[in-house]
Chains A and B, each alone.
Chain A
Amino acid sequence: MEDAGRAVKRRRSLAERAPFLAAIPMLAILAVPLIALAGASSPGDIAAGARHPLFAPALWLSTRTTLVSLAAMVVLGTPLAWWMASRPGRGSRVVETLVDLPIVVPPAVMGIALLEAFGRNGLFGPALSALGLQIPFTTTAVVAAQVVVSAPFYIQAAAAAFRRVDEDLLIVARTLGHSPASAFFRVAVPLALPGMVAGAALAWARALGEFGATLLFAGNFTGSTQTMPLAIYTALESDARVAVALALVLVAASALLLVPLRAVPALIARRLGGGRGGGRPPLQGFAGS
């Protein structure tokens, strides 16, 4: 103990400070642009930007589409995550790679791929036309682009959280008379909830920022497919103040999303009292905690 105390008091040499000093450039690269953005415009400029005709439709469209995307990702992604977590083996590794693909494939490529699948001349194009349905360049396409690009973040996080649920707890639940569905909803989901919430927040943030796939698959039409990132892009050509106002709203929304990403999982974990299966902060790789 005494040795440790002395070590703390001793002046640190440059070599000992090196790790901290070496960390500064990256920190600066991450922080400086956002600080610059916050300082770029006066409140008057922001107010003017918010009154611009591009602003309100984009904000409303982004809110609507990302909420629908989030719901779709959770409803459709949770069963897949559960399947991936409960079937270890070669099959699930293949599926995992497949789920990872949209994370590594550039969003613009996903946009082209969506066109190839659902475009007029795409794989399902004729069938969709026969039904009188058109997906590309509609609000539905916006949602599809967001889901394809963002869902992997939720699915991977939820699968990781499900994997941490102690298998014995599920066996116990079954022996106590519960069906697989009941064991899932009463044991697996509550224990995986911190990871699921963190993953959903991350996926939502990703959907909110979706640009490339949306532009290619849904286009850039005010009111129907022009989400906030696309509106920023359009506004830059006419009025930079709108772009900055939109950007600041997006920063604020992202900052709000950091709350569930960081605090909610920690809160739930604390409520479980560090118990098995839910104690660790979820999604360490993604949330960076």
Chain B
Amino acid sequence: MQWSVEVKARAGGFHLDVGIEGDRAPVVVIGPNGSGKTTLLRIIAGAYRPRAGRIRFGDRTLFDSAAGIDLAPEERRVGYVPQGYGLFPHLPVIDNVAFGLAGGPRRVPGTERRGTAAEILAEMECGHLARRYPATLSGGEKQRVALARALLPAPEMLLLDEPLAAMDVAARRGLRAWLTRRLACRGAPAIVVTHDVRDVHALGSPVVVALEGGTVVQSGPAAALAARPETDFVAEFFGAA
């Protein structure tokens, strides 16, 4: 599936003007703090409305300022995992995961959705966490639960904001491999925001988009950015400074 995002927006004191595209392979977005990475994900999720532009997944148009199309977040079929995972602290893990079946057009009765949630939790090796509350989970467990929750309604696009940031080094290593396998076997496109070059390598040399000050300063295969960085940030990110 081809997808493309082309948006202009004003957010938090700077202008975001970004055009990126991709297919089934994950795209990694890198950039310094305040470069607009999170804003970009939220725009794609439908939380913020851009001033102009177009967002397309395959033959579906999620946003088109010229045509007056602006799908609500609940109609976009994206899975969003924010920084810090965004688990609902008032719900046990099983209800967090089942949340995507608790409302809207995919709504199913309580016992059925808990059954479905339990299946995906088991598949993610988290079945034992079902009755726990998010506050009692480790960073890695939260990450898996958040991903399970995002995947349950079968989204067409995954948006992961710093999926490994809140974890210690050892946990990261294991989870990085696990996340890479998950994304690969899903086959749905993903946009992954990261601060860590090892995430880029783990995802198997994906396309990397470098954002600075709200615009794309460089994009292409990871190897190409590493070999010929065009900005100080990109050079530092790949450790070539």
A interface residues with partner B (beta carbon < 8 Å)? 166-169, 171-179, 182, 186-187, 190-191, 271-279
Contact = CB atoms under 8 A, between A and B. Distances in A.
Given A166-B86, A179-B104, 15 more contacts: A168-B83, A171-B42, A171-B80, A172-B81, A173-B99, A174-B45, A175-B73, A175-B150, A176-B100, A176-B104, A176-B153, A178-B74, A191-B89, A273-B89, A277-B89
Interface size class of B (residues with CB under 8 A): 35 or more
6 contacts: A172-B80, A172-B86, A176-B74, A177-B103, A273-B133, A275-B90
Given A186-B102, A276-B89, A277-B89, A175 B133 contact: no
Contacts, number: 99
Given A171-B42, A187-B88, A178 B104 contact: yes
A178 B76 CA distance: 11
Contacts of B78: 175
Contacts of A277: 89
Contacts of A182: 103-104
Nearest to B152: A176
Contact of B46 (A175, A191, A274, A275): A175
Contacts of B47: 167, 171, 174
Contacts of A167: 47
A175 B90 contact: no
State the majority secondary structure of interface residues on B: mixed
Interface in B155-214: 155
B213 to A, nearest CB: 23
B89 A272 contact: yes
A274 B88 contact: no
Q: Closest 9 A-B residue pairs measured CB to CB?
A: A275-B89, A273-B135, A177-B104, A174-B73, A168-B82, A176-B100, A178-B103, A182-B103, A171-B47
Given A190-B90, A272-B133, A275-B134, A176 B149 contact: yes
B103 A272 contact: no
Contacts of A276: 84, 89
B72 interface: yes
A272 B135 contact: yes
Nearest to A171: B47
B79 A175 contact: yes
Contacts of B82: 168, 171-172
Contacts of A174: 45-47, 72-74
Interface string B134-162: 11100000000000011001010000000
Interface string B212-240: 00000000000000000000000000000
A168 B150 CA distance: 13
Contacts of B89: 191, 272-273, 275-279
A2 B183 CA distance: 53
Contacts of A271: 90
A235 B83 CA distance: 62
Contacts of B101: 177
Given A191-B89, A273-B89, A175 B103 contact: no
A172 B83 CA distance: 11
Given A171-B82, A174-B47, A176-B100, A272 B90 contact: yes
Interface in B61-93: 72-74, 76, 78-84, 86-90
B154 to A, nearest CB: 11
Contacts of B87: 275
B105 interface: yes
A174 B42 CA distance: 11
Interface in B99-119: 99-107
B76 A275 contact: no
Contacts of B155: 175
A272 B89 CA distance: 6
A276 B105 CA distance: 28
Given A177-B103, A187-B88, A190-B90, A171 B133 contact: no
B74 A169 contact: no
Interface string B48-71: 000000000000000000000000
Contacts of B90: 190-191, 271-272, 275, 278
Given A174-B47, A278-B90, A179 B74 contact: yes
A136 B153 CA distance: 56
A271 to B, nearest CB: 8
